[in-house]
Structure 1
C-alpha cells in the first residue's frame, strides 16, 4: 500500500498560464526509495516542495491531490497541515551551509523541532541529538553540538542535516539533491549513510537527483521528468535494462561512463527533445480543455 500518492498534480505561477507541474502522478510505498530524475528545471524539487507545503508564494497548485498516509493534504487547513507534516515528514536540503542557521549552535537546530513539534522536554531532545550524531558517525558529538556551522566541514554539516531529518522518526523524507555541494569522495560517504539510515529506520524516501548513477545505487523505483511532466515511471532494474521512453534512453546514453572516464559525452539528440516537447504541449492542450 502506498504511503504517499500524488494524482494529477498540476501547478503554475500565480496570475499566469505558465505551467510548472503537469498532471504529475506517482506513489511511494512505506520504506520505499523512489528517485525523481530529470534535467535542471524538470520539476523535481518543485514536487518535493509541493509535498512538504513549502512552495514559493508565487506558485499555486491548480489541480490534483497529495495523499499522505490516507489523508489528502490539500484538504487540510494550513495549521493542521503543518502539524501533520512536522510529525510525519522531513527534508534533507541541497546545501548544508545555507540550510543551517549560521548564528546558532548545532544543538538547538536539531532539538527545537523535537521540542516544538513533538513536545519533548529539552533534556530528552538533547540526548536524542547526541544519539543521532553518533548514528551518523560524527566524532566528538558533544563538541559538534556546541559548534557553529562555519566551524564544521561540508560533509559534517550534511551529516547533521541527515541526523536532523531522521530525528523525529518521520515516515517520509524528501532528499533534495543532498550531495550536490560535496566533493566526490564525501558524496559516496553521504549516499552510503543515507541508505543505512533509511534501511535502519524503515523510512520512505523521495530522492531528487539529476544523477542516474546515484539512482542506480540508492533507489528501488524512479520517475523521469521533463517540463514538469512524468514521462516514465519504472522500477530501477527494469529502467537500466531497457528504459521505455526515448527521452529516458537519451538521458541514460548521456550519462558519464565510469568504466570509460576518457570517453566523450553523448548529448540528448534534438529530435528527442522536440518529441518530448510535443508531448508536453499535448498535455497543456488537454489541461486547457479540461
Structure 2
C-alpha cells in the first residue's frame, strides 16, 4: 500500500516571486513544506536562472492548473546582440559572433514577424520530447537535436529599452508553450547579428501581476489566495445548492443559456464547484472541486 503523503488538506494559490537559482519544482517543494500542504503543483515552468511570477497550486487548486497553464503570460527580457549560444541564453557556449549591431528601427521592424500566430522552434536545451527523449538530455549528451516548430500565440512583443548597442530589452505577452530564449535567438537571426537571452523575468501570469507576488523566503498561509482567482478568465455559471451537490456527484443538471466549454460552476457564496461544459441546456461536470476547496 502506498504511503499517504503527510501534510494538511489546504487549498489555494500562492504566487511566488521566484528568485534566480532554484528550479520551479524546487520552489513548489519549498512552498509545500512551508505551508505543510499535502499536494502541490505549478502552472508554467521558469528556468532556474529566470525570475518572476511562479503560481503554485495547493490541494484542490491543482485541479485548476490547466486553466492557468493556458492563460497569457508576460515576460520582460534582455537580448544580447552579437552572439549565438548553444542554449540560446547566457549559460551556454558561444557558437557564433557578429560585429553588426542593428538600430532601434530595425529591431522594431522585425518584431511583427514574431507576433501573432507563429511557429516557434523550442531551444535544443528544452524539456520538449524528440523521438521519445527530452531534448536537453540529448543535447547534454553531445547529440544534435532540433525540436520541431510548434504553434504559438504571441499577443504582444515590443522593444522597451536600448541601454547600450549590445542589449535590447523587450516585453512579450504570449500563450502556452512560448520560449523567450527562442525569441532572442530568432530575433538575432532575423537581424543578421545573432542573439541570445541575457535574463528574463515573468511579470504577469493569468490574473496576477508583480504586485500580487510574494518572496519565497518567509512564505506562509497568510499568502494563500482563493483557487477561484485562477478561473477568472473562464465563463462562470452560478448554480444553487441542489445543482452544486449533483455536479459534485457527477450528475448533469439543467442550465439554460448558450453552450459553454471551459467554464466553471460556482455555488452559493461564489465557491467553485467544478470545471464544467454546458451543452444544449445541460451542465456537465469535469474536474470536481471538493467542498472547502477555497483558500483557508
TM-score after normalising by structure 2: 0.27
Higher relative helix content: 1
* Larger Rg over CA atoms: 2
TM-score after normalising by structure 1: 0.27
